[in-house]
Amino acid sequence: MDAREVLDLLDLTLLDHEADDAALDSLCKKANEHKPAAVCVFSEHAPYVGSRLDDGVALAAVAAGFPVGDESPEDIVEAIREAVASGAEEVDCVLEPREGDGFPDESDLAKLIAMREATKGCILKVIIEAPLLDERRLRAVTRMVLAVGADFVKSCTGKRGGCGDEVAGILAYEVHRHGLATGDSSGVKLSGGIGSKADAERLIGIVTGHDPSLVGSHRLRIGASSLLEDLVG
């Protein structure tokens, strides 16, 4: 892959509650110059960033807790509605994992339904924190995320572990399986520890090896804050 192909999949990320105008301006300048798929920031920064992004770069907001997700469906709905009101076209939202074989259960399903209902008209990317899950729970929660109609299942926040090769393969397999069963065209977002073009190429190769249709920014995203420098530096 060339750098442009990876850039087309990139969610350029700045998740820092303390980020000042200078840092946000720098982010927007990079985005306008290099045209990633989206810029991803906290909801409170979305109005400022959105007003400075050129057309063609989507505005994504992280809502309802990060890296630890909110527990209450009501709180999730309120946070997502605030993000959408701030101008976000896409919402990244953590489904907080729990210890034990009971995860995921009906309480987690209620959170996912709240996320989907609150993001109607926007792209929803559900973060599942795969590094904290064994394979059984990883597959179970991925299937639940896809069942509620999320647009993307996202590997992790990157704050509690990175995205490994095995996780990328499992997510791609489950999205492919779901698509065969339902006809849906859900996507995979890989995030966590992806700092080089080589990292991105390897993970993308794993995903497309399981499902060749997982191409283009409507089906595949890479979430990273430092990858841009390796791509264009």
Domain positions in the chain are 3-232
Q: Residue 233: what pLDDT?
A: 80
Residue 49 is predicted with a pLDDT of 98
Q: 118 in helix, strand or coil?
A: helix
- Exactly one of 11, 111, 125, 189 is catalytic; name it: 189
Catalytic residue, candidates 70, 154, 199, 211: 154
pLDDT, tens digit, 9 for 90 and up, residues 4-35? 999 999 999 999 999 999 999 999 999 999 99
Cis-peptide, bond into residue 36, ω within 30° of zero: no
- Give the mean model confidence (pLDDT) for residues 106-130: 97
Give pLDDT, residue 68.
97
**Residue at token pair 């892959």:** 1
Judged against a pLDDT cut of 90, whether residue 154 lies above it is answered with yes
Is 29 among the catalytic positions? no
Q: How confident is the model at residue 204 (pLDDT cuts 50, 70, 90)?
A: very high
- For residue 158, which of 116, 128, 123 has the smallest C-alpha distance? 128
pLDDT confidence band for 101 (50 / 70 / 90): confident
Three-class DSSP category at 63? strand
Q: Is 189 an annotated catalytic residue?
A: yes
**Average pLDDT of the residues of the chain:** 97
Q: What is the mean pLDDT of residues 132-151?
A: 98
- Looking at the chain, the whole-number percentage of residues with pLDDT higher than 90 is 98
Q: What mean pLDDT comes out for the span 187-206? A: 97
Residue 154 bears catalytic tag: yes
Q: What is the pTM of this model?
A: 0.97
pLDDT band of 45, cuts 50, 70, 90: very high
Domain range 3-232, CATH architecture: Alpha-Beta Barrel (3.20)
State what percent of residues in the chain have pLDDT above 70: 100
Indicate which residue of 70, 92, 151, 199 is catalytic.
92
Q: Average the pLDDT over 92-110 and give the result.
A: 95
In the predicted structure, residue 147 carries a pLDDT above the cut 90: yes
**Spatial CB neighbours of 160, under 8 Å, sequence gap ≥ 6:** 67, 129, 131, 132
- Torsions phi, psi of 227, nearest 5? -60, -35
Query: Beta 220-224 vs 123-127: how paired, if at all?
Result: unpaired
Question: Distance (Å, rounded) from C-alpha 227 to C-alpha 123?
Answer: 23
Q: Which long-range contacts (CB under 8 A, 24 or more apart) does 29-33 make?
A: 30/228, 31/57, 32/57
- Answer yes or no: is pLDDT of 105 > 90: yes
Separation of alpha carbons 117 and 100, rounded Å = 27
